[in-house]
A and B are shown apart, each in its own frame.
Chain A
Amino acid sequence: MATRFTQAGSMRSLAGSSVLLAVAACGTSGGEESTDTSSGGGLAAPDLPMLQEVGASEDELNILAWPGYAESGQTVPSVDWVTPFEDKTGCQVNVKDFGTSDEAVSLMKTGEYDVVSASGDASLRLIAAGDVEPVNTELVPNYADVAEFLKQRAWNSVDDQMYGIPHGWGANPLMFNTDEVTPAPDSWSVVFEADSPYAGEITAYDSPIYIADAAMYLKATQPDLGIEDPYALDEDQLAAAVDLLEQQRANISEYWSSATQEVSAFRSGDTVVGTTWQYNASLAQSKGTPVKTVVPKEGITGWSDTWMVATDSEHKNCAYMWLDWIVSPQINAEATEWFGEAPANLKACDLASDENFCETYHANDEAYSEGIYYWNTPIAECLDGRTDVTCTDYSDWTTAWTEIKG
């Protein structure tokens, strides 16, 4: 389902900066276990060749993107980095938006798309299925300027071979209505605990990956469970997370799966508190809804997105041109500032319209970045390195999510 927004005010000034600064404090807590995730281990990637040379434009490019990642002036006329790309390369662009990573994986299987902006909970699945191929970073000149701590990570590479070009990264903060929710929450307990004062007015993200948010909360509140990495849950740990989410469900007003849906529920007052993206918060603020975002003390999940090239793409030259275009300083600045996330290309910092842009989103702050629990694909071989148990994989999470919703 394509989600397009019409939006008046500028998103840029609305970054919720005061709140995001707060994460620096808790940013170090989760840092130590994510540092060893250098490259996707335990994953058998099909042996696929990568492009050796970028040739002439094929005149067409089909993009599968998160909303706000490939803007062609349809949302706001001035927000447009697709048309200049078309003019420059001759590649006619078709954009399809997706709302969840699962939707992206399933759409990529149709073979209709040439490039995709995949988050960490989709990228490994796409790699394993052979739906995307390794990316020859030498053919993407702007890759050199990408922050080093985004290169060769578990969610975008296998055995040090990059499978895409980093786009940007950000977190899933807690959004609340400042009129209704007082005092301002500093803990995820307002959305998870049964006795939350906002029972019946809570929202949550409608995807199995949201189980990780519950696991992260349990990691902080119930150390006995021994959760290290919220994406590496054995059966008991998953069961505990499911219990917590079932308890939460009784208090849920509705689950959101698109930005518009969440914003409309916050505007009407049906929802007053819940997980969000900075994009949604900015959208709600630009429509006059009194909302703020915070980074709760238990930590925060987030995403780090990667542009990947479809194996069966017939427009690979255009695909590489797009990869280089979207991560070029100017365009990366426009795209990530529009969405409200940290840019991958650090040269984008100086080109953003808000001079504090990169500080606000900690773009150059490796410690902050490491403090986020990035969306990752749960697999049977525990991501936290445990070998004495088998972890639950994504299909277990999917089944669990159906059970949680009841």
Chain B
Amino acid sequence: MTAGAGAQVGLPRRTLLRRSSAALHRRPWLRLGGLLSAPLLWLGVAYLGSLAALLVTSFWSTDTFTGDVVRVWTLENFRQLWVEDVYRTVVLRTVGIAATVTVIDALLAFPIAFYMAKVAPPRVQKALVVAVLMPLWASYLVKAYAWRIMVSESGVVDSVIGVTPGFGLVAATLTLAYLWLPFMILPLFAGLQRLPDSLLDASGDLGAGPAFTFRSVVLPSVLPALVAGSIFTFSLSLGDYITVEIVGGPSQLLGNVVYDNIGAANNLPFAAAMASVTVAVMVCYLAAVRRTGALDNL
């Protein structure tokens, strides 16, 4: 476009711009709507919409032979979930593993976070934050396969301590605990930083020992942060299926059943019903932790 042409169209464009800006100024709701419509569309359609689609699909069924989805309402999927023992076992096993991973991560993360927040000099603290974040830069798959090699028959674990758990639930729990550890350390670190040192000193001055201080001062004040971290570790473990596939041996978790029903069995409605269990467990968990104030700490 030449400069002359630019000057010609420049004038009307400016008035258009000015006019629309004036219109926006007169109507604050339009301003707000324009600003929020994209994120709201994302949240409403892509995020909640897909959840709704999941819920709807779980009430359909598939033609057993051709695998086509039959769009007729039925509770059959949920009946099967309830009646067949194997699914209850899988759900309980999955929740159990998610809880174990969360406990392991909490036990490992607390001393690290405490050292980072209260003991380490500023430079060490910064280095530690980087060190904690560093594993997040590596691919999830690389880390899971690294654990596969470590726990395998001729792996590092075997040659160093002489025994390996082999592929199975123990290896899966260890790997998941390793993978999600940073998600527990960071909220705890932030929570402990907010805890004034003077409170610890005061507790000591009043004659409380370390254990008592921990129980009655530190723990109550970092509990929301702890719960916030547990939301991450718990929910990430609950839905994971790749780690189990790689190091879990013959075991299956909820995510594997969902995956197998999509990939192998081609039964989307049942996969949706199974996945809604995860959603239900998470909703219950979030409802339970809401009162601790953890949701303000995420």
A interface residues with partner B (beta carbon < 8 Å): 100, 102-103, 105-106, 109, 125, 128-130, 200, 207-208, 249, 252-255, 265, 268-270, 377, 379, 393-395, 398-399, 401-403, 405-406
Residues of B within 8 A of A405 (CB): 250-252
Residues of A within 8 A of B154 (CB): 268-269
Report the bound CA distance from A402 to B259 in whole Å.
Answer: 12
A200 touches B166 (CB 8 A): yes
User: Residue among B86, B87, B257 with the most chain A CB within 10 A?
Assistant: B86
A393's partner among B64, B86, B251 (CB-CB below 8 A) is: B64
A252 touches B250 (CB 8 A): yes
User: Residue among B153, B166, B251, B252 with the most chain A CB within 10 A?
Assistant: B153
Residues of B within 8 A of A270 (CB): 152-153, 166-167
B67's partner among A125, A255, A379, A406 (CB-CB below 8 A) is: A125
Shortest CB-to-CB span from B14 to chain A, Å, is 47
Report the bound CA distance from A100 to B86 in whole Å.
Answer: 23
Could you list 12 examples of A-B contacts with CB < 8 Å? A103-B263, A125-B65, A125-B67, A200-B166, A254-B167, A268-B152, A269-B153, A270-B167, A394-B64, A394-B65, A398-B265, A406-B252
Identity of the chain B residue whose Cβ is nearest the Cβ of A126 in the assembled complex: B66
Residues of A within 8 A of B5 (CB): none
B67 touches A402 (CB 8 A): no
Identity of the chain B residue whose Cβ is nearest the Cβ of A379 in the assembled complex: B65
B153 touches A398 (CB 8 A): no
Overall SS of chain B's interface: loop
B67 touches A268 (CB 8 A): no
Shortest CB-to-CB span from A257 to chain B, Å, is 8
Given contacts A100-B264, A398-B265, A405-B252, 8 further A-B contacts (CB under 8 A): A105-B266, A200-B166, A252-B249, A254-B250, A269-B152, A269-B153, A393-B64, A402-B86
B267 touches A249 (CB 8 A): no
Shortest CB-to-CB span from B154 to chain A, Å, is 5
Residues of B within 8 A of A102 (CB): 263-266
A254's partner among B65, B249, B260 (CB-CB below 8 A) is: B249
Report the bound CA distance from A200 to B62 in whole Å.
Answer: 36
- Known A-B contacts A253-B166, A254-B167, A394-B65; the reply to A402 vs B257 at CB < 8 A is yes
A393 touches B265 (CB 8 A): no
Shortest CB-to-CB span from B277 to chain A, Å, is 14
Report the bound CA distance from A238 to B182 in whole Å.
Answer: 47
Report the bound CA distance from A96 to B110 in whole Å.
Answer: 46
Identity of the chain A residue whose Cβ is nearest the Cβ of B249 in the assembled complex: A254
A106's partner among B65, B251, B266 (CB-CB below 8 A) is: B266
User: Residue among B65, B251, B260, B263 with the most chain A CB within 10 A?
Assistant: B65
Report the bound CA distance from A34 to B66 in whole Å.
Answer: 24
Residues of A within 8 A of B153 (CB): 268-270
Residues of A within 8 A of B248 (CB): 254
- Judge whether B135 is part of the interface by a CB distance below 8 angstroms: no
- Judge whether B50 is part of the interface by a CB distance below 8 angstroms: no
Chain B interface, number of residues (Cβ within 8 angstroms): 32
Residues of B within 8 A of A255 (CB): 250
Report the bound CA distance from A301 to B152 in whole Å.
Answer: 30
A109 touches B67 (CB 8 A): yes
Residues of B within 8 A of A249 (CB): 250
Report the bound CA distance from A265 to B152 in whole Å.
Answer: 8
Shortest CB-to-CB span from A397 to chain B, Å, is 9
A128's partner among B66, B87, B263 (CB-CB below 8 A) is: B66
Report the bound CA distance from A254 to B264 in whole Å.
Answer: 17
Identity of the chain B residue whose Cβ is nearest the Cβ of A106 in the assembled complex: B266
- Judge whether B99 is part of the interface by a CB distance below 8 angstroms: no
Residues of A within 8 A of B152 (CB): 265, 268-270
List residues 150-175 of chain B with CB under 8 A from any CB of chain A.
Answer: 152-155, 166-167
Report the bound CA distance from A405 to B84 in whole Å.
Answer: 13
B65's partner among A100, A109, A393 (CB-CB below 8 A) is: A393
Report the bound CA distance from A377 to B67 in whole Å.
Answer: 13
Residues of B within 8 A of A200 (CB): 166
A402 touches B260 (CB 8 A): yes
User: Residue among A200, A379, A393 with the most chain B CB within 10 A?
Assistant: A200
Task: Mark each residue of chain B from 247 to 277: 1 if its CB lies under 8 Å from any CB of chain A, else 0.
Answer: 0111110000100101111110000000000
- Known A-B contacts A208-B264, A270-B153, A403-B86; the reply to A129 vs B66 at CB < 8 A is yes
Identity of the chain B residue whose Cβ is nearest the Cβ of A131 in the assembled complex: B66
A109's partner among B89, B251, B265, B266 (CB-CB below 8 A) is: B266
A398 touches B149 (CB 8 A): no
Task: Mark each residue of chain B from 190 to 216: 1 if its CB lies under 8 Å from any CB of chain A, else 0.
Answer: 000000000000000000000000000
Residues of B within 8 A of A268 (CB): 149, 152-155
B266 touches A207 (CB 8 A): no
Residues of B within 8 A of A254 (CB): 167, 248-250
Report the bound CA distance from A265 to B64 in whole Å.
Answer: 34
User: Residue among B154, B167, B265 with the most chain A CB within 10 A?
Assistant: B265
User: Residue among A252, A393, A402 with the most chain B CB within 10 A?
Assistant: A402
Report the bound CA distance from A233 to B208 in whole Å.
Answer: 72
List residues 220-251 of chain B with CB under 8 A from any CB of chain A.
Answer: 248-251
Shortest CB-to-CB span from B79 to chain A, Å, is 13
- Known A-B contacts A200-B166, A254-B167, A398-B264; the reply to A106 vs B250 at CB < 8 A is no
Shortest CB-to-CB span from A45 to chain B, Å, is 11
Report the bound CA distance from A249 to B86 in whole Å.
Answer: 14
Report the bound CA distance from A255 to B264 in whole Å.
Answer: 14
B155 touches A103 (CB 8 A): no
A253 touches B267 (CB 8 A): no
- Known A-B contacts A268-B153, A395-B267; the reply to A406 vs B86 at CB < 8 A is yes
Report the bound CA distance from A208 to B64 in whole Å.
Answer: 14
User: Residue among A125, A130, A200, A398 with the most chain B CB within 10 A?
Assistant: A398
Shortest CB-to-CB span from A2 to chain B, Å, is 13
Task: Mark each residue of chain B from 54 to 87: 1 if its CB lies under 8 Å from any CB of chain A, else 0.
Answer: 0000000011111110000000000000001011
Report the bound CA distance from A128 to B64 in whole Å.
Answer: 11
Report the bound CA distance from A33 to B166 in whole Å.
Answer: 43
B265 touches A125 (CB 8 A): no
Shortest CB-to-CB span from B41 to chain A, Å, is 26
B166 touches A128 (CB 8 A): no
Identity of the chain A residue whose Cβ is nearest the Cβ of B247 in the assembled complex: A254
Shortest CB-to-CB span from B255 to chain A, Å, is 13
